[in-house]
Amino acid sequence: MTPMIQTSRADAVLLRRAAPGDARDIARLYNQAYSMEGRAAKEQYPFPQVLEPGWIAEAVAGGSIAWVVAEAGGGLVGSTAAVRNIGGRRDRIAEVFGVVVSDEARMKGVATRLLDLLCAELGGEAEFILCEARTAEPGGWKVARNCGFLPVGFEPFAHAMPVGFESMVLTGRVVGDWSARPAVPPRLTPTAQVLALAVAGAGARFRPEGHGGASPDPVGNDPSSTPAGAPPAEPFEVRRDDEGGRRMLEGRGGDLDHRSGVIGLRPLEGEDREGRRYERPYFLGLQGDRVVGCARAVWDWTDRRARILDLRMERDGLQAGMLADTTRALLRMAGDGPLVVIVNVRADALGLQRDLEQLQFFPTSYYPGLIAVAGGRCDAVQYTHLHRRRIEEGLEFVTDIDWPRARSVIDQVLESRRCPPLTRAIRAPWSRCN
């Protein structure tokens, strides 16, 4: 494959694909960027494996990750990468991570050119590109904005960064016409619908609440026909079983599906070969001796964050109970400490959205056309549950973002928790928030 190369004569910066031989210099960039105040980068950065040259070399050579670098003065001054597909085989969802530039190369447009080159490298293979943008430093969200990403959500307490627990603006880049409606019309709760309007604009259309009709890729019979607080018709139990859960999901052929209403994803997950920062719990849903469902999560003890990344059910109607009991199990794991729980659901799974809101989840992101379905694509909603966290505390390091569309999305997430708009929130006391 011919290397992709871009050069800038003004500051003699060369941009190109990474090679395995760059691994040591790439690791050095991340270690320098995320080591602060006497704390090692691996104690803060959510993906400690990118600090290890061996892992980087394998990732670059393996092909599942697209990686580009910037070179100047005989050394690397910038790096960024993306997982080529974090969804099912047909979903084609790329996820950007690790946009970093050395101090001497900052404020020269290097990060923007790197991200542009990465998107070009992904080419026609990605239908949707995700990118978390930092809020503590304007450079983070400006790079995403300059590269044509649009704000799709706000994630409080996303990562334990050098400044502290930092929230992120979630951005997305949709290949093709952003305003084109997906194959499955969304069916949304009022709270999710307002967020969707902030993301997709006034032209967005939604199927009226309660409207039936077949969809090209149905979510079964209403995926949450059992209310969150009501027991199922038969005794139902959720217990942690990592080995049994892995065996059940691997027995499905390894691909992800979204038929339960929960979006199955395989995003980049942190790896810590020296400690116990991460856990990957599996939970089985049981009726008597029969396994009727399985949930997979990833847990980060440093970020105090758990993501439910897959839910498979043998029977429809038990999803709400499965999510409720899985969330309770995750909260028990947290003990007396705080925890943020995240789950993504299909935008046509109205009942499941209602059930999550009854469980004190609230919508924090809206993804137009995130997943592939028969004949087209379907939107998704990210829901977040804050345990022993107050959303206003997640604004501690948020700068005054001069990006009207992003501010509108952030304000809608804050409004769902009855908090003041961002302009007032970053300056005002928090008596109005809960």
The predicted-structure confidence for 81-129, as pLDDT tens digits, reads as follows 999 999 999 999 999 999 999 999 988 999 999 999 999 999 889 999 9
pLDDT at residue 306, rounded to an integer:
98
| Of 366, 402, 305, residue with least CA distance to 128 | 366
pLDDT at residue 238, rounded to an integer:
96
- Number of domains observed in the structure of the chain: 2
pLDDT at residue 285, rounded to an integer:
96
pLDDT at residue 175, rounded to an integer:
83
**pLDDT at residue 210 tops 50:** no
The predicted-structure confidence for 148-174, as pLDDT tens digits, reads as follows 999 999 999 999 887 789 999 999 998
pLDDT at residue 274, rounded to an integer:
74
pLDDT at residue 432, rounded to an integer:
40
Please report which confidence band the pLDDT of residue 213 belongs to, taking 50, 70 and 90 as the band edges: very low
**DSSP state at residue 264:** P
Query: DSSP letter string over 189-240?
Result: -HHHHHHHHHHH-TT---PPTT-----SS--SS-TT-S-TTSPPSS--EEEE
Q: Is residue 131 part of a domain?
A: no
Tell me: do 86 and 234 sit in the same domain.
no
Q: Which three-class secondary structure state does DSSP give residue 421?
A: coil
User: Are 137 and 186 spatial neighbours (Cβ–Cβ below 8 Å)?
Assistant: no
Domain membership of residue 94 as a residue range: 5-126
| Of 250, 247, 240, 350, residue with least CA distance to 306 | 240
Q: Is residue 179 part of a domain?
A: no
Tell me: do 356 and 283 sit in the same domain.
yes
Domain boundary among 110, 126, 142: 126
Within 10 Å of residue 288's Cβ, how many Cβ atoms?
A: 10
Tell me: do 255 and 379 sit in the same domain.
yes
Tell me: do 84 and 200 sit in the same domain.
no
**Ranked by mean pLDDT, which of 5-19, 59-73, 199-213 comes out on top?**
59-73
What integer best gives the mean pLDDT of the chain?
88
Q: Is residue 267 part of a domain?
A: yes
